[in-house]
Amino acid sequence: MVYLAAAKSACVARPLSAAARAAQQMGLIARIARCGGTSWMLNRAATQPGVVSAGPPPSGSNGSGSASKSGGSIIIANTTTTTTANSSNGSGSASKSGGSIIIANTTTTTTANSSNGRSSGGGSGGASRSRSTSNESGKGGRAAAVAACDTFECLRKAHALPPAQQERFNFPHALILGYPKCATTSLWHYLDQHPQALASHPKEPHYFTRCYSTPTPPSRQGAAWGCDQTQGDYLRGVLHRDKAAASGLSRAAFEASTGYLEAPAIAPGLRRALPWLKLVVSLREPISQAISLRAHAAEIMARPGAHPKWFAAQEGDVCLRRLVADRATMGECALEVVRARESYVDSLRQWLAAGWDRRQLHVMQYETFTSAGPRARAALDDLKRFLGLDPSLGPAQLPAFNMRRDHVHPEGWQISKRDYLALLAIVQPQSIKLANELERLGFCRAAEWLAPWAAAWRRTLEGCTPANCTVVLTR
C-alpha cells in the first residue's frame, strides 16, 4: 500500500502594488496570492470567476469570468461608485497593468452594489450579480444575439456583447466530458431536474468527436459514426438554443458526451470555438471502470439485430468478441482496456495544455458523489456552485441510471489473481500520479482522493485465493 504525505500549498504571498494596496485599504480586495505560477487578486466574497463572461477571452487567457489578466487575475467591486473603463478592443473586460481596474465595455457602465458583499464578477454560486445600465439591460443583449446564431463564430460575437442583468449563463454553458461508466448519465439526469439547467437531447451527441475536429477524426468511434449535423443542428436541436435564448440566458445549457475526455485532440479546437465553457469530469476507480465498460459493451454486442448508432465495435475489440463467445475472461478484457487507453491524468494534462484554465474544470470522484450521506450531498452542491446553479434547488439525491453494479454480478467479477495483479501494476501508479496532479491543481488532497480506491484494492486482495480474485465494483 502506498501512503502519501500532503504536498505543501502552491500559494505564496505576493507583494501588493500601490494601486492594489489602496484597493485593499478600501476593503475591496481580500488578498493576493500566487498559485501555480498565476497571480490572483481575490475579492472577499468571490473565489472563482463569475458565470457570465464579458466576452470570449483571447487565446491563452483564463476563459471565464469578467476579469482579464495583466500581471494577475483581478476582481474588484466598488461600494457605491459607478466606474467605467474604456476598452480599445470593444470586449467586455479590461484591466490595467499592475492590477487595479477591471470593468467595462466601450459603451457600458457597470455598477456593483457592495451592500451584499459581492463583486461584479461573482455572486452566489459564482453567478454574476452585476447591473448593466446600458441599453442592453432591458431586452435584447446577448440572448437576442444568441437566438440568431447557427455557428460558433456567431456565438463568439454574441458573447462579446455585455450581458443584461438577467443573463446569468453563457450559451452553451457546460460539457460533462466523461469518463464513461462514471455515473455521467446519473449526473445528466440530476442536472436535468434543476430548474436553472437545460439538458441536451440526446444526452451524448458526441458532436465534437464526430463533426468538429482535426481533418483526421480524433477517435475511431467518431470516425465510425460519421457527421450528420451542422453547427446549427447541434445548437438548435441538441442544445435547445431557442429555449435558452427565450429564458433570457437564465438557464444553463449543457451536454454530456463521455468520449470527449478520451479525445484530447478536440481540446484546442473546442477552446477556440467556445472558450467560455465549463468542463465537468467524473472519474472512477480504474479497474471498476474498465470492467463496467466491458460488461456494458458485451451486453450490447450479445444482442441480436442492429446495435445502437452510438455503439461502434472497434477492430481492437478482439477480447470483447471472445468474451461474448465465452472464450475470454473479464480480467483479460479489462487488461485490454487499461493497456490501450491513456490514463486519466494524461488526458487531463492534455486538455489543460490546450489552454483550458484550471478554473474552468471541475473534477468529481465517482465513489464520493454516488455514496449515501453528507459527503455525496456536499459533492453535488459543489457541482451546482461550480456551474452557477442555486444549490438549494433541484433534487436532493443523485438518481441512479445505467448503474449495473447491483444487478449485473452484484457478488463481484471472478478474474485470475495474475490478471488482477497485472491490472494493479498499471492503474496504481497512474492513480498516484493523478492524485498528485489534482492536489497540485488545488482540487483535493492526494491522500484523500486515493483513499476509496486504495480501500477497494485492499479488499479485493484480501479476498483473493492463490488462483482467483473477486472484484466487487466500486460505488
pLDDT in tens, 344-362: 999 999 999 999 999 999 9
Contact 206, 270 (CB under 8 A): no
The proportion of the chain whose per-residue pLDDT surpasses 70, expressed as a percent, equals: 62
DSSP state of 236: I
What integer pLDDT is reported at residue 281 of this predicted model?
Answer: 97
List of long-range contacts for 220-229, beta carbons under 8 Å, 24+ apart: 220/312, 220/314, 220/315, 221/259, 221/312, 221/314, 222/259, 222/263, 224/312, 224/314, 225/309, 225/310, 225/312, 229/205
* C-alpha distances out from residue 197 to 11, 53, 169, 191, Å: 34, 18, 10, 6
Neighbours of 57 (CB within 10 A): 23
In this prediction, residues 310-338 reach a mean pLDDT of 75
Q: Is 407 exposed, middle or buried (0-12, 13-18, 19+ CB in 10 A)?
A: exposed
User: Which residues are CB-neighbours of 311 under 8 A, at least 6 positions away?
Assistant: 297, 300, 301
What integer pLDDT is reported at residue 42 of this predicted model?
Answer: 32
Does residue 116 carry a pLDDT above 50?
Answer: no
C-alpha cell, 210 = 464526430
Ranking 167-171, 311-315, 385-389 by mean pLDDT, the lowest is 311-315
Contact 271, 354 (CB under 8 A): yes
Q: Which residue has the higher pLDDT, 157 or 92?
A: 157
Which residue among 8, 96, 139, 181 is the active-site one?
181
List of long-range contacts for 462-466, beta carbons under 8 Å, 24+ apart: 464/417, 464/420, 465/417, 466/417
Does residue 216 carry a pLDDT above 70?
Answer: no
C-alpha of 84 from chain center? 33
pTM over 0.75: no
| β-bridge partners, 166 | none
Q: Is 292 annotated as a binding residue?
A: yes
Q: Is 186 annotated as a binding residue?
A: no
C-alpha cell, 432 = 498516484
Does residue 132 carry a pLDDT above 70?
Answer: no
Contact 232, 148 (CB under 8 A): no
Q: Which is nearest to 401 in space by CA: 119, 231, 181?
A: 181
- Where along the chain do its domains lie? 9-135
The predicted-structure confidence for 416-445, as pLDDT tens digits, reads as follows: 999 999 999 999 999 999 999 999 999 999
DSSP state of 400: P
What integer pLDDT is reported at residue 402 of this predicted model?
Answer: 61
Band the pLDDT of 72: cuts 50, 70, 90.
very low
Band the pLDDT of 190: cuts 50, 70, 90.
very high
What integer pLDDT is reported at residue 212 of this predicted model?
Answer: 74
Longest dimension (CA), the chain: 75
What integer pLDDT is reported at residue 273 of this predicted model?
Answer: 95
Q: Mark whether 309 is an active-site residue.
A: no
Cis peptide before 179 (omega within 30 of 0): yes
What integer pLDDT is reported at residue 261 of this predicted model?
Answer: 93
What integer pLDDT is reported at residue 451 of this predicted model?
Answer: 97
Residue owning grid cell 499592475 = 98
Give the Cα separation of 31 and 9 in Å (integer).
Answer: 16
Sign, CA dihedral 146-147-148-149, equals positive
Q: Which amino acid is at 313?
A: A
- Dihedral-angle region of residue 411 (phi above 0 means left; psi in -120 to 50 means alpha; beta otherwise): alpha
Give the Cα separation of 11 and 281 in Å (integer).
Answer: 24
Does residue 340 carry a pLDDT above 90?
Answer: no
The predicted-structure confidence for 268-294, as pLDDT tens digits, reads as follows: 999 999 999 999 999 999 999 999 988
Q: What are phi and psi of 11, to 5 degrees?
A: -105, 135
Give the Cα separation of 282 and 449 in Å (integer).
Answer: 13
Contact 282, 364 (CB under 8 A): yes
Does residue 471 carry a pLDDT above 60?
Answer: yes
The per-type count for the chain, helices as H runs and strands as E runs, is: 17, 13
Give the Cα separation of 68 and 55 in Å (integer).
Answer: 10
Contact 98, 74 (CB under 8 A): no
C-alpha cell, 274 = 467556445
User: Which residues are CB-neighbours of 331 under 8 A, at least 6 positions away?
Assistant: 413, 415, 416, 419, 420, 423
